Amino acid sequence: MAQQFDVGNQIIDAGLMPILEPEYNIKAADRAAGEAILRNEILKHLDMFPKGRQVMLKLSIPATANLYQPLIDHPAVLKVVALSGGFSRAEACAELAKNHGMIASFSRALLEVLRADMDDAAFDAALGHAIDEIYSASVAAA
């Protein structure tokens, strides 16, 4: 975690917004406990972060709803965005909607139904449906 925050400071020094991405495996047997440890370690480093500086956090959707609320509310955090983390889009959206203040940063879940052999209309419809579903989950969580 120290390394992520050190690099985050370098990114801020360059005039950019760092996105820190300490990911915990959603298939880990100790997932809930591990995510709580991760949250506590992130909080420890946020509390030591220089005043007036902010980071974004990109985290897997936690097993325990609203586990990351203290991160979302922390003044050193601009935004907490959720990885789909291997969930299907439907699962990721359902889990995201349970976590107030997180918004989606889904790539795999966004693109899961898109295929190269789709015609333009089918591609546009599938992409539009995916965007609407992910947006709805983000708004429900916000």
Indicate if 21 belongs to the active site.
Answer: yes
- Listed residue (92, 107, 97, 10) closest to 50, CA to CA: 10
Q: How far apart are CA 83 and CA 23, in angstroms?
A: 9
Indicate if 58 belongs to the active site.
Answer: yes
Instruction: Give the tokens for residue 142.
Output: 């916000």
Q: Are 98 and 140 in contact (CB under 8 A)?
A: no
Residue 31 three-state SS: helix
Helix (H) or strand (E) holding 120: helix 120-141
Catalytic entry in 58, 79, 91, 98 = 58
Catalytic residues: 21, 58
